[in-house]
Amino acid sequence: MYFYVSVVIFIKKNYINKKLGIGSSFKRKQAYNTRSLVLLSCFSLCFLGLLTRIGYIQFVNGPDYKTRAYKQQTTSQVLSSKRGTIYDASGKILAMSSAVDTISVNNGSVFYSDGKTKVPNDVLAQGFSEIFGLDYNEILEKLNSKNSLVTVAKKVEKPYVDSLKAWMETNKITSGINIDEDSKRAYPYSTLASNVLGFCGNDNQGLEGIEAEWDEELSGTPGRIVTSTNVNKQAISDDNEQYIPPQNGSDIYLTIDTTVQSISEKYLTQAIIENKADSGCVIVMKPSTGDILAEAMYPTYDLNAPFSPNTNELKAKWDTLTNEQRSEALVKMWRNVPVSNGYEPGSTFKLITSSIGLEENITETDTSGDFTCNRSYFVNGVEIKCWDSVAHGSVSLRRALERSCNPSFIQLGQRIGKETFYKYLQAFGLLGKTGVRQPGEASGNFHAIDNCGPIELATMSFGQRFTITPLQLITAVSTCVNGGNLVQPRIVSKTVNTDTGVQTELPVVNVRQVISKSTSDKIKDMMESAVTVGTGKHAQVAGYSIGGKSGTSEPQPGREETDGYVASFIAISPTQNPEVIVLVILYHPRGSSHQGGAICAPVAGQILSEVLPHLGISATSSTSEKEDQLRMLNDVTGQTLTAARQTLESAGFKVVSRTTNNDAIYVTSQSPKSGVSLLPGSVICLYTDGAEKLQSQVPDLKGMTADQAKNSLSAVNLNIAVTGSGKVVSQDVLAGSPVAEGSVITVTLQEEVVGGAQ
């Protein structure tokens, strides 16, 4: 403005002088005046343009420039919320978050301690590559990019962060490298219940399983700190600093019992291997509450490395697969089959058909000659065969269920009729989803009622040519045995707000009464008969009342190689007031049998033999071994080898000693450990200091008598524990597995079932 005024005064002064005749001729005066006016006009226009530009910047672009200046002068740091912990029913940690850090760089703004000298990118790349094991060229390329913020490493654990801080101190680097708090998800049990739990991605967002379905409750809300910074991105004091605290995620308590889950996975794995099956699953549930105690699958995968192939077969071909094929394989590996996959339930579904017939007063449990079986039955001219090679003749409903007679249940289905049948399918929850909060739940797939003809009704009555999920079946059968009430399955019992401590219980949901208590009592009684004298005899557990039903679903003609048989068994215990229900399924078994009663019933019995005592359910009678036959093993560690041998041999045990030299005369360990009860003649292995602890390979005991199994184990310095009578149908350690000398192998004996098993 001052310059503009000066120019105007100068021009006016010269103009007046010329006007008064001071200086030049009139002609020169006129030319000069013209130039002065032009110059004045130009300056006026420039000044007007400048004022316009200033006004535009101030009033039009002002808010935008203010925002941009604010962003340049402030930094916003995200404060990660801590993801909630997942616990089992007893409070054991299944998934947890540990503290880690994310390392990033304010690109081009990393300075030495003088605050002026920038650290060269090659120096940074060299340091980062050495500390974090990164590729030097890759990190240098990132640092040379135009990105203002470069992430160097995520999920960095404390030892590496300490190394970075020491390197920065040594090299006198004081600004531009950010160390931000983060968390890393860890799974202490690795593969246990992996398909149930699921896992998180790098951003701690749930991707599969419970982690995904309950992500909103687990993840919480991140916080934020907003502070002012100088040109070097260093924080400066600011009274307007904003701090928004993070809201941590809630803890979740599952109904899953880690011990029950481990037992289920152990015996399922053995059954898959022994019967050469493709895969399998087990569900253990409380029928009164719908609480899922175990949801096991085989094969599982490692939750701490969820993108790695989980079987030797998949590992062998992994490098040859396309990205699309790898994705498909991983999705299949992560899939929670009990909830997401439909299957034909086979004869286990006869429990549903029986309950409908009893509830509708169409049949009774023990009406003699109520049904007839001549090994097959014709429906609209189509012959449908019974699984058994022997005609069952005239039978009651109880006998038909014990023998799993297909023709009898076809006749019952015809009496029920499709309208009533479908009404109960809806009531049992089989036409929809159970409502359990797990991702990917499927619903039943039945013929539309208008498309259900006589043949469809016939096959449906004994559990074929439709699909339901394993969870739907066990939920429906729970209804049959818990007094008739449909209960929604529950996988989460409560959530806990980690900031406030407030607990939110998830209630048991009773959906509806489907059948009467009297019908339920009849179903339980017939299930017990099916185990006592029927196709489920291999599921017996000494000292406990067991009820059950076998199932074998045949593949459709022409699809035997691709689909294969599906063998299954569902069991309850105790039968009068069931506290546990177990469903075992093996897909496409290729062993000596594909019948559910032969290969799945023993698995259900094995699981119940360990789960029932674990849950505090007392046996009603003792096992087959009399207590006075057993000997308590004492602790002999610390004694001389001679004294320990004398003590054990006087108690009736066989002693095997492992020692390094004659100077090592004191026992430092023993196998088995003290406190167990053993049969006379059991092998006790004693070790002195430094002696090698040997292992033995468990022999295959199937089909042996108790004495034969005992001798076979003793020959390799192993011991036996026996339940039941008859011949060995199962063993708690898979044949061929290495175990420590002196280990106790528990075998289950049963009398042979006459007529085979379905």
Dist CA 325 CA 454 (whole Å): 42
The string of pLDDT tens digits covering residues 143-189 is 888 777 888 888 888 888 889 989 998 888 888 888 877 778 999 99
pLDDT of residue 4: 47
> Is the model's pLDDT at 339 over the cut of 80?
yes
pLDDT of residue 244: 74
Record the tokens describing residue 6, joined without a space: 């000066």
DSSP string of 299-350, one letter each residue: S---TTSTTS--SHHHHHHGGGS-HHHHHHHHHHHH--HHHH--B--GGGGH
Dist CA 653 CA 719 (whole Å): 11
Q: For the packed helices 350-359 and 517-532, what is the interaxial angle rounded to 10 degrees? A: 140
pLDDT of residue 428: 98
Same fold, 75-254 and 340-494+507-614: no
Please report, for the chain, the start and end positions of each structural domain, with discontinuous segments joined by +: 2-60, 75-254, 340-494+507-614, 627-750
pLDDT of residue 622: 45
99 phi and psi angles, rounded to 5 deg = -75, 130
* Strand 654-658 with 683-688, pairing: parallel
Record the tokens describing residue 397, joined without a space: 């409903």
Query: What's the per-residue H, E or C state across 40-100?
Result: HHHHHHHHHHHHHHHHHHHHCCHHHHHHHHHHHHEEEEEECCCCCCEECCCCCEEEEEEEE
Highest-pLDDT range among 155-169, 280-294, 613-627: 280-294
63 cis-preceded (ω within 30 degrees of 0):
no
CA quadruple 10, 15, 18, 24: dihedral positive or negative? positive
pLDDT of residue 40: 74
The string of pLDDT tens digits covering residues 12-45 is 555 445 544 544 555 555 666 677 777 777 777 7
> Is the model's pLDDT at 275 over the cut of 60?
yes
pLDDT of residue 268: 97
Q: Classify domain 627-750 by CATH number.
A: 3.30.10.20
> Is the model's pLDDT at 321 over the cut of 90?
yes
Partnered with residue 494 across adjacent β-strands are 253, 505
Dist CA 741 CA 717 (whole Å): 6
Partnered with residue 571 across adjacent β-strands are 548, 582
* Strand 149-156 with 492-496, pairing: unpaired
Give pTM, 2 decimals.
Answer: 0.78
pLDDT of residue 751: 72
First-last CA distance in the chain:
105
Q: Which amino acid, 416?
A: I
Reading phi first (left if > 0) and then psi (alpha if -120 to 50, else beta), residue 10 is in: alpha
Cα-based distances in Å from 406 to 321, 384, 496, 519, 525: 45, 8, 50, 21, 20
Dist CA 456 CA 212 (whole Å): 38
Partnered with residue 468 across adjacent β-strands are 343
Question: Higher confidence at residue 375 or residue 244?
Answer: 375
Residue listed under structure tokens 């998830």: 506
Cα-based distances in Å from 481 to 58, 128, 138, 520, 538: 79, 63, 63, 5, 21
pLDDT of residue 757: 60
Partnered with residue 581 across adjacent β-strands are 285, 572
Q: Which amino acid, 361?
A: N
> Is the model's pLDDT at 9 over the cut of 60?
no
Provide the percentage of residues in the chain whose pLDDT is more than 70.
87
Q: Which residues, 6+ apart, have CB-to-CB distance to 555 below 8 Å? A: 562, 563, 564, 565
> Is the model's pLDDT at 227 over the cut of 80?
no
Instruction: Assess contact for 337 and 297: CB atoms under 8 A.
Output: yes
C-alpha 746, offset from chain centre: 29
pLDDT of residue 527: 97
449 phi and psi angles, rounded to 5 deg = -60, -35
Range 699-704 average pLDDT: 90
Instruction: Assess contact for 175 and 402: CB atoms under 8 A.
Output: no
Please give the CATH superfamily to which domain 75-254 belongs: Penicillin-binding protein 2a (Domain 2) (3.90.1310.10)
> Is the model's pLDDT at 222 over the cut of 80?
no
Helix (H, G, I), strand (E, B) or coil at 727: strand
Q: Which residues, 6+ apart, have CB-to-CB distance to 87 below 8 Å? A: 93, 94, 251, 252, 253, 254
Instruction: Assess contact for 301 and 333: CB atoms under 8 A.
Output: yes
* Radius of gyration (C-alpha) of the chain in whole angstroms: 39
Q: Which residues, 6+ apart, have CB-to-CB distance to 7 below 8 Å? A: 39, 40, 43
Dist CA 758 CA 752 (whole Å): 14
Question: Higher confidence at residue 555 or residue 66?
Answer: 555
The string of pLDDT tens digits covering residues 447-479 is 999 999 999 999 999 999 999 999 999 999 999
Closest CA to 351 of 595, 574, 594, 569: 569
C-alpha 10, offset from chain centre: 89
Q: Classify domain 340-494+507-614 by CATH number.
A: 3.40.710.10
Record the tokens describing residue 85, joined without a space: 């912990």
Report how many helices (DSSP H) and strands (DSSP E) the chain contains, helices first. Answer: 24, 34
> Is the model's pLDDT at 96 over the cut of 90?
yes
> Is the model's pLDDT at 79 over the cut of 50?
yes
Q: For the packed helices 406-416 and 454-461, what is the interaxial angle rounded to 10 degrees? A: 120
In the structure, what pLDDT confidence band is assigned to residue 2 with cuts at 50, 70 and 90?
Answer: very low
> Is the model's pLDDT at 88 over the cut of 50?
yes
> Is the model's pLDDT at 554 over the cut of 50?
yes
> Is the model's pLDDT at 627 over the cut of 50?
no
Mean pLDDT of the chain: 87
* Strand 744-750 with 719-724, pairing: parallel
Q: For the packed helices 350-359 and 418-427, what is the interaxial angle rounded to 10 degrees? A: 110
Q: Which residues, 6+ apart, have CB-to-CB distance to 387 below 8 Å? A: 347, 404, 406, 552, 758
At CA 11, angle to CA 8 and CA 17, rounded to 5? 140
pLDDT of residue 623: 44
In the structure, what pLDDT confidence band is assigned to residue 61 with cuts at 50, 70 and 90?
Answer: low
Range 643-665 average pLDDT: 84
Dist CA 234 CA 240 (whole Å): 16
- Kindly report which listed range (91-95, 510-514, 748-752) carries the lowest average pLDDT score: 748-752
Provide the percentage of residues in the chain whose pLDDT is more than 90.
57
Instruction: Assess contact for 348 and 463: CB atoms under 8 A.
Output: yes
